């Protein structure tokens, strides 16, 4: 019985999350009620301007695909 308890304690002690807690300390949670601040960098602004030229279309089977706005008929733009 004591051997089984010792083996279980050893297995729990060597768990990877135990080692992470031992090496790095407890996880810092911060204020969970605070709003998330997300600032855009130059790459995100460039990708948003590139994606602005596309329109998402859905076919009769429910598949979604992107179409360039300049390729759409004028009444759909």
Residue 12 Cα to chain centre, angstroms: 30
Q: Please report where in the chains the tokens 């004028």 appear, as a residue.
A: 74
- Which of 76, 74, 24 is closest to 55 using CA atoms? 76
pTM exceeds cut of 0.85: no
pLDDT of 13 strictly over 60:
no
Average pLDDT for residues 37-53, to the nearest whole number? Answer: 88
């Amino acid at each position: 019985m004591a051997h089984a308890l010792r083996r279980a304690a050893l297995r729990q002690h060597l768990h990877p999350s135990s080692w992470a807690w031992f090496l790095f300390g407890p996880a810092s949670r911060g204020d969970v009620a605070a709003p998330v601040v997300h600032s855009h960098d130059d790459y995100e602004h460039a990708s948003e301007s590139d994606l602005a030229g596309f329109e998402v279309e859905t076919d009769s089977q429910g598949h979604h695909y992107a179409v360039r706005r300049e390729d759409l008929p004028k009444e759909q733009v």
